[in-house]
Chain A
Amino acid sequence: MNKTLKAFGLALALSTALAGMAMAQPTEVRIGVALEPPALDPTAGAAEAIDIVVYQNVFEGLTRIDQNGAVQPGLADSWTISDDGLTYTFKLHDGVTFHDGTTFDAEDVKFTFDRILGADSVNAHREFYEPITSITVIDPLTIELKLDRQIGRFLFDLGRGDAVIVAPESADNNANDPIGTGPFAFVQWDKGSRVVLEAYGPYWGEPVHLTKASYVFIGDTATLTNALLAGDIDGTNNFSTDALAVFENNPQFKVLVGTTEGETILSTNNKRPPFDNLKVRQAMAHALDRQAIIDGTTNGYGTPIGAPFAPHNPYYVDLTGTYPYDPEAARALLAEAGYPDGFSATLKLPPVPYARTSGQIIASQFAAVGIKLELINVEWAQWLEDVYANKDFDLSIISHVEPFDIGNYANPDYYFGYDNPEFQALIETLNGTVDETKRKALAVEAQTILAKDAVNGYLFELAQTGVWNAKLTGMWQNSPIEGLVLRDIAWTE
């Protein structure tokens, strides 16, 4: 008995000591994320969940996007652009290795872009790189890309998850065994449960603070709350605003509220009557009370927008006053358009909470001016097929989460069917312009056209609401690009 007690006491003391040691220098982080990625290859899928895990952690591109959305050198230390803006020459970093030990050089860059542009490419964003006409390896650490036209945001596009550099030896297996050059190497993926990454010792750049990071997949908000409270996970990058109050006044946690690239819009089928009538779209814009929608949908987190453009972007111009909330004006415009008694339409809602909730609020705001909405809930796959691919819808609600996606409005075949040659010409000029001042003037003009044309109902910019252990630092507050970058995250006392 006595012996057992002693042994027990010893074990207890030992485990306390071990726990104490672990407490002093934690270098591991466990992050809860809502969605599990279907695969881990960011060059063969568009799911944000892929970038959350691997972007800038496992994989890197020639450039990288920082917390403020600016372009920084990545695998390319420096670059020169020819005077005509068509030839980019990149100097690559020396001594970089992939996680499987193979050396990174210009041949890998060539392979990456050949693969994106190849005949059986399944890159979700091939169109960004399609102006590349030739890829030439000058020497193992120099590569030259030639374009057939100027692209103002080419360096940004090179920093996207779609253009991370992969190796010919491992590219085919990246979906389940991703091998990149980043500061963290992939260790294991317990499907349905978590992905584990480990700091890569021979990493070429500044050493990272963490030794290990796990992404734990927890879809349910209540469950995620419990896991945070129980200390089973250390944080999450985007937590439901409904339950944020639990953590706001808890000193063990910090809540980081920042911006995202998600413009939430009331997508409108511009090809289908009565929405092909500008007066009807203006009336709908006047009928929207954005602040009420934000308060009801995201508990006040989110910024009203008057055009499909992110408020934190340097080119942003506030156009929320173009058609202010004014039900009287809405009714008058409907009468002018020939709908004195309003009309009926359907509103197809994908399964994201912001869409389902704001759908109900908009339905009541529209009812006040005589527009009767029938709400139809659809699944994601069904939304993609009905609304997006077949354009079979009147109205829908969706957040467009890609950075700088205003160019979609220049594509007449895009699902909301906006066909304005003047705007298309403007975007082409913008894409081909490199000068910052001129780019800004053009971007402001583009936003103004879209605001005046009321192509869609512009609702709000989604906020990013992270919840983290109070002792963690270095998380990105804003999300200028899809990802959850571990580079600067560290534990402090």
Chain B
Amino acid sequence: MIAFTLRRFLGFAATLLVAALVIFWLLDLLPGDPAQFILGINATPESVARLRVQMGLDAPAHERFLAWIWGMLQGDFGMSYTQRAPVAELIWARLAVTLPLSIFAMVISIVVGLPLGILAARRRGKLLDTAIMVTAQTGVAIPNFWFGMLLTLLFAVTLRWLPPGGFTPWNEDGGAAFRGLILPSLALALPQASILARVMRTALVDVTGQDYIRTARAKGLTMGEAVWRHGVRNALLPVLTILGLQFAYLVAGTIIVENVFYLPGLGRLIFTAISERDLILVRGATIILIVTVTATMLLTDIAYALVDPRLRERSAP
């Protein structure tokens, strides 16, 4: 298990280094000058040139790359060009929205999706199964920004139960902060829950036909007991894979929902930073996202190995 974890960890580090190189190089190719963006179309070329020097944009690319990597290793992500504030601070503030939002959405999709999937599998071919699967299919098909608008119209504009958007900082009013995240996490969770329900159903249906379920039944367990004790655990493997991917998607993919609910999340930060050519902020935020995604993958792999001992034995040296 230790060797397995170590190998995965090395892969993790290598991925990060390659990603850092690619991010730096790609963004350097983007047309657009941050200094010109800040000073606008009536600024004199001299002012723009002075600002470029002040932001350190006049140094050659390899020097800037090394300075950037060296800084990050010491925990310094640099100063944002347009916002004149430390990148780490800006990202950290946004994570206070995006992380809870992703986690809420994840919890909702697990709590709703998995039981529905199990239920559909147990009632395979019956009316309930069809109803759940049709609903799930619709849930996958509905774009979440549109679902978000519908939720706002009903719960914020008509009923006025919840705010239409915006975010109150946690330390100011935790209850208001929580209420602000309810509609967005529902909007985010709908397609995820639908996918989970479908995957769970398929996996469980596959497992029910296996020999060990028949053996369990022959030993005298009822179908329900056999599925619960042996089926679900085995069916969880593909579900775990999807969960890992989904969490990564949630953290990185909340931008549209953040726009609909005007939440100060990471997705919107990156979006604005790209259009303003705040390259150092884009790079820092992208690195954080990549760390989150690859770390989630790493944890999924380890969880996989915990659920299925065969995997860790096979990969042992």
Contact = CB atoms under 8 A, between A and B. Distances in A.
Interface of A: 36, 38-39, 44-47, 120-127, 175-176, 190-194, 216-220, 222-223, 226-227, 229-232, 351, 379-382, 384-386, 388-389, 398, 400, 402, 405, 408, 415
A384 B165 contact: no
A381 B165 contact: no
A219 B263 CA distance: 11
Given A38-B38, A120-B54, A122-B54, A223 B260 contact: yes
B38 A125 contact: no
Interface string B30-58: 11111011111111101100110010000
B94 A380 contact: no
Given A36-B272, A218-B165, A226-B157, A191 B42 contact: no
Given A381-B275, A385-B36, A227 B82 contact: no
B149 interface: yes
Contacts of B104: none
B84 A192 contact: no
Given A229-B157, A380-B276, 7 more contacts: A125-B43, A176-B83, A190-B264, A192-B263, A192-B268, A192-B272, A226-B156
B43 A194 contact: no
A398 B50 CA distance: 26
B277 interface: yes
29 contacts: A38-B276, A38-B278, A39-B82, A46-B43, A122-B38, A123-B47, A124-B40, A124-B47, A175-B84, A176-B85, A191-B94, A191-B269, A192-B97, A192-B269, A219-B262, A220-B262, A226-B149, A226-B156, A380-B276, A381-B34, A381-B36, A381-B37, A381-B275, A385-B31, A388-B41, A389-B36, A398-B41, A400-B41, A415-B41
Nearest to A219: B259
A175 B39 CA distance: 14
Contact of B50 (A120, A379, A389): A120
Contact of B262 (A123, A175, A176, A193): A193
A317 to B, nearest CB: 24
A226 B43 contact: no
A351 B272 CA distance: 13
Given A380-B37, A381-B33, A386-B31, A175 B83 contact: yes
A380 B272 CA distance: 11
B78 interface: no
Nearest to A384: B36
A408 B260 CA distance: 39
Interface residues of B, number: 53
A46 B149 CA distance: 34
Contacts of A381: 30-34, 36-37, 275-277
Contact of A232 (B50, B93, B164, B268): B164
A143 B270 CA distance: 45
Query: Which among B85, B262, B264 has the highest number of chain A CB atoms within 10 Å?
Result: B262
A227 B156 CA distance: 8
A408 B84 contact: no
Interface string B127-171: 000000000000000000000010011001100100111110100
Given A124-B42, A127-B44, A223 B37 contact: no
Contact of A46 (B33, B39, B97): B39
Contacts of B43: 46, 124-125
B42 A126 contact: no
B94 A192 contact: yes
B38 A230 contact: no
Nearest to A123: B47
A230 B160 contact: yes
A241 B212 CA distance: 66
A121 B39 CA distance: 12
B51 A230 contact: no
Interface in B158-204: 160, 163-167, 169
Interface of B: 30-34, 36-44, 46-47, 50-51, 54, 82-85, 90, 93-94, 97, 149, 152-153, 156-157, 160, 163-167, 169, 259-265, 268-269, 272, 275-278
A38 B83 contact: yes
A190 B54 contact: no
B269 A388 contact: no
Contact of B36 (A38, A121, A123, A388): A388
A405 B39 contact: no
Contacts of B54: 120, 122
B164 A45 contact: no
B93 A191 contact: yes
A218 B40 contact: no
Contacts of A388: 36, 41
Nearest to B32: A381
Given A175-B83, A192-B268, A382-B31, A122 B42 contact: no
A124 B37 CA distance: 11
A388 B43 CA distance: 11
Contacts of B259: 219-220, 223
Nearest to A408: B42
A415 B45 CA distance: 12
Nearest to B36: A384
B163 A230 contact: yes
B163 A223 contact: no
A135 B149 CA distance: 56
**Most chain B CB atoms below 10 A, which of A121, A230, A405:** A230
Contacts of B82: 38-39, 45
A161 to B, nearest CB: 12
A382 B277 CA distance: 9
A84 B48 CA distance: 34
A122 B97 CA distance: 34
Contacts of A386: 31
Nearest to A175: B84
Nearest to A128: B42
A194 B166 contact: yes
Instruction: List the 4 closest pairs (A to B, CB-CB), nearest first.
Output: A192-B264, A46-B40, A381-B32, A38-B82
B44 A126 contact: yes
B83 A191 contact: yes
A222 B34 CA distance: 30
B77 to A, nearest CB: 15
Given A38-B38, A45-B39, A402-B42, A223 B165 contact: yes
A163 to B, nearest CB: 14
Contacts of B160: 230-231
Given A39-B83, A176-B85, A191-B264, A227 B39 contact: no
